[in-house]
Amino acid sequence: MSAAETLASSVRADAPPAILLERVNKWFGALHVLRDVSMQVATGERVVVCGPSGSGKSTLIRCINRLEEHQEGRIVVDGIELTDDLRSLDAIRREVGMVFQSFNLFPHLTILENCTLAPIWVRKMPKKQAEELAMEYLTRVRIPEQAHKYPGQLSGGQQQRVAIARALCMQPKIMLFDEPTSALDPEMIKEVLDTMVELAATGMTMICVTHEMGFARQVADRVVFMDRGEIVEQGTPQEIFGNPKTERLQLFLSQILRGH
Amino acid sequence: MSDIAAPAALPASRQPPVRMTGPLAWLRENLFSSWWSTAVTLALAYLLIRYALGFVDWAFVNAIWSVPTGANGLPDTSSCRNNPGGACWAVITEKHRFILFGTYPFDEHWRPMLVCALFVGLYIVSAMRRFWNWRIVPIWLVTLSLIGVLMWGGVFGLTYVPQERWGGLPITLILATFGLAFAFPLAILVALGRRSKLPAIKAICVLYVELIRGVPLISLLFMASVMFPLFLPEGMNIDKLLRAQIAIILFAGAYLAEVVRGGLQALPKGQYEAADALGLSYWKKTLLIVLPQALRLVIPPLVNTFIGFFKDTSLVLIIGIFDLLTAGKTAIIEPQWQGFGVEVYVVLGIIYFIFCFAMSKYSAGLEAEFNRHRRR
């Protein structure tokens, strides 16, 4: 656990929060999926969000880069409030990278093109520079040799590592992970988690929705437990896993531990 | 079997079962596998050979390729009339220039001929992926202006030929090329518009598609040629060919829009979300991520519609425009050539087939090339 402590020390408590949510509410039709959710994520902090399916955890992080719109409350990312203003949305999406459960690589582009697309077209980076940057990140996720293949030619674990590299190529300040290992075969989960652990060690601000409790213990500064659209309990991994206070968290932990 | 924990050695791989190959095995398996199959094969083979031989007799062995000029200065087709078992290709020999170029002044036929060659050249160049960049725009502009100059004339010492005298293959190629070249971008915009979140844009696009799709092309052409001029102010007149062209563009646009929309709908939502999450704007997302994938998905129905419209241009005959088919029909109106329609229609069919088959083959190649990324 010493690794977690040294990582935790990189969090600067005095800096303004990277992400601020205040009493956020969201409905899908009549279904109340987020209920008065408030939380802060400090710059450099690594937060793991867990909870049973349908608890609103994916919706929560999809609200942070406005893939979903919240209906009530405030969301401030990197000092910019999320509103209907398209310019603020563009600014936020440039600073927030996202990794999806189903990878969502662009199948008609090569791995390298997947990684250089946004830097070239959004950041206006020269092509050569973007390619050098992409190769740097592909090397970091340990698949530089696949750069000229198409996503369909790669395994699931490799595709997800490419998706991480693609998001990193935009050099975001914040990374969101939406169940990045849920669609993977068991033997590929580790390679993706290893990549994420390495990323965490660089001091990146991260919010991960995941059920990988080993990962949470290893890198999370804080674990947030959600159920039925609200944050039920949060704390350090030791507190959450070692000393769950609420009945709902105890029930959830007993269920996922039985599964493992 | 129950002892799954034991690290058993892998069982030796077996060879796949032996399959007979070669043409003889194929014949036996597919054509003569049972007495019933054998009987059908023999019966069909008999019919096939009989009619193939009959056609060869008609088209080649007994055919007449030219006829002498009669006493009145007109071709004497009596030899053809006395030869019911053979084709009279003399009608093509005599009339091919009229069929191809219609009533275009006879001495100027080199001009529409060059135009046809330019069109074919334009298709070939456009089909080469090497030219799929900004260079294609000037190539099209220059070629199409050249075609306009050649057809109309009136400059560079070319005699002026009014549009009413144009006819034959150039008309078909003009209607099809301009029609699809304008209808395709229009269709993409309409398909995107139909999925727009803005209610006004969506409503306009839906209205356009449903209105145009709800009427036959013939009535649209009638409207363009007969009714439309009534609404124009006195003395103002838009070229008849242009009006038909616009009708064809609008019609093809509505059909193609639905094909493109099918492709847009087939794209997984995750692709849109990934593009959004990377910060791509609507147009960048559409041009770089959505359309390249959506259009690849719909190459077969897209080309299907293209081919359909290439042939549908022949409907302009009802408003008196001399396209290839109309020119062919008109060629056999003269009394001495009446009754030789089959020969003319066979030739017209071959010309249409060449263009449509080329489109079809090209699309098959394009599909294979474009879907390379799906192969493992």
In chain A, the residue whose alpha carbon lies closest to the alpha carbon of B297 is: A108
The closest alpha carbon to B260, from B212, B197, B205, B207, belongs to B205
- Which among A98, A106, A121 has the least Cβ separation from residue B277? A98
Instruction: State residue B201's pLDDT score.
Output: 92
- Strand partners for A224: A49, A234
Tell me whether residue B77 is in a domain. Answer: no
Residue in chain A nearest B269 by alpha carbon: A104
Instruction: Judge contact between B225 and B292, C-beta under 8 A.
Output: no
Enter the tokens of residue A134: 């992409």
Per-residue CA distances from A53 to A179, A209, A241, A256, B50 (Å): 11, 11, 18, 12, 71
A99 to chain B, closest Cα gap in Å: 8
CA distance B144 to B150: 10
> Binning pLDDT at 50, 70 and 90, where does residue A9 land?
very low
Q: Of the candidates A67, A94, A100, which has its C-beta nearest B279's C-beta?
A: A94
What pLDDT score does A5 carry?
44
pLDDT band at A8 (very low <50, low <70, confident <90, very high): very low
CA angle B180, B183, B189 (to 5 degrees): 145
User: How many angstroms separate the CA of residue A237 from the nearest CA in chain B?
Assistant: 29
Residues B349, B353, B356, CA angle at the centre, nearest 5°? 140
Q: Give domain status of residue B306, yes or no.
A: yes
Whether B296 contacts chain A with CB within 8 A: yes
Say whether pLDDT at A1 is over 70: no
- B76-105 average pLDDT score: 79
Q: Is the pLDDT of residue B2 over 80?
A: no
Q: Can you give the pLDDT at residue A13?
A: 52
- Contact criterion met (CB < 8 Å) for B288 and A117: yes
Q: Any CB–CB contact under 8 A between A127 and chain B?
A: no
Residue B4, pLDDT > 60, answer no
User: For residue A7, is pLDDT > 70?
Assistant: no
Q: Indicate if the pLDDT at residue A208 is higher than 90.
A: yes
- What is the pLDDT confidence band of residue A172, given thresholds at 50, 70 and 90? very high
Question: Given pLDDT bands bounded at 50, 70 and 90, which one contains residue A258?
Answer: low
Residue of A nearest to B287 (CA): A121
CATH code, B235: 1.10.3720.10
Q: Which residue has the higher pLDDT, A224 or B166?
A: A224
The number of C-beta contacts closer than 8 angstroms across A and B is 68
Window 260-289 of B, Cβ < 8 Å to A: 268, 270-271, 273-281, 284, 288-289
Residue B28 lies in a domain: no
Which residues, at least 6 apart from B117, have a Cβ–Cβ distance to it below 8 Å?
none
Q: Is B14 part of any domain?
A: no
Interface test with B, best of A104, A122, A123, A164 (most B CBs within 10 A): A104
B108 found inside a domain: yes
Q: pLDDT tier at B1 (50, 70, 90 boundaries)?
A: very low
Ramachandran angles phi, psi of B233, nearest 5°: -65, 155
Burial class (CB in 10 A: 0-12, 13-18, 19+), A130: buried
Chain B closest CA to A82's CA: distance in Å? 14
**CA atoms within a 13 Å half-sphere pointing along the CA-CB vector of B133:** 3
Quick one: how far is CA B228 from the chain centroid? Answer: 28
Q: Is the pLDDT of residue B183 over 60?
A: yes
Contact B195, B354 (CB under 8 A): no
Q: CB distance from A98 to chain B under 8 Å?
A: yes
pLDDT 10s digits, B51-60 = 999 888 888 8
The pLDDT value given to residue A104: 93
Structural domain count of chain B: 1
Contact between A168 and A205 under an 8 Å Cβ cutoff? The reply is: no
Does position A218 have pLDDT exceeding 50, yes or no? yes
Predicted local distance difference test score (pLDDT) of residue B375: 56
CA-based nearest residue in chain B for residue A168: B278
CB atoms within 10 A of CB B91: 27
Facing A152 at nearest CB: one of B276, B288, B373: B373
Please check whether residue B236 lies inside any domain of the structure.
yes
pLDDT in the model for residue B5: 54
- Higher per-residue confidence, B326 vs A205: A205
Give the pLDDT band (50/70/90) at residue B235.
Answer: low
Q: What is the pLDDT of residues B248-263, one digit of tens each?
A: 999 999 999 999 999 9
- The reply to whether A108 touches chain B by the CB within 8 Å rule is yes
Question: Is any Cβ of chain B less than 8 angstroms from the Cβ of A169?
Answer: no
CB B344 within 8 A of CB B331: yes
What residues of chain A lie within 8 A of the CB of B278, using their CB?
93, 117-118, 122, 166-167, 170
User: By residue range, what is the domain housing residue B272?
Assistant: 92-375
Residue B226: CA count within 13 A, CB half-sphere: 10
B138 has pLDDT over 60? yes
On whether residue B178 sits in a domain, the answer given is yes
- Within 8 A of B279 by CB-CB distance, chain A residues are 90, 93-94, 118, 122, 170
From A101, A180, A108, select the one nearest A149 (Cα to Cα): A108
A124/A134 Cα distance (integer angstroms): 14
Does the structure show a pLDDT above 50 at A253?
A: yes
What is the tens place of the pLDDT at every residue in B170-179?
889 999 999 9
Mean local confidence (pLDDT), A219-228: 91
Residue A100 has its nearest CB partner, among B270, B284, B292, at: B270
Split at pLDDT 50, 70, 90, the class of B374 is low
Asked whether residue B233 is assigned to any structural domain, the reply reads yes
Q: Is the pLDDT assigned to residue A12 strictly greater than 60? A: no
- Best interface-test mutation with A: which of B197, B267, B273, B278 has the largest number of A CBs within 10 A? B278
Each residue's pLDDT tens digit, B13-60: 887 777 777 788 888 888 888 888 899 999 999 999 999 998 888 888
Q: What pLDDT is attached to residue B376?
A: 46
Minimal Cβ distance to A90: which of B270, B279, B375: B279
Contact yes or no for B323/B167 (Cβ under 8 A): yes
List residues bridging with A176 in a β-sheet.
A98, A207
Q: Specify the pLDDT at position B8.
A: 61
Indicate the average pLDDT of chain A.
87
Interface predicted TM-score (ipTM) over 0.90: no
**A167–chain B Cβ distance below 8 A for any pair:** yes
With an 8 Å Cβ cutoff, is B11 touching chain A? Answer: no
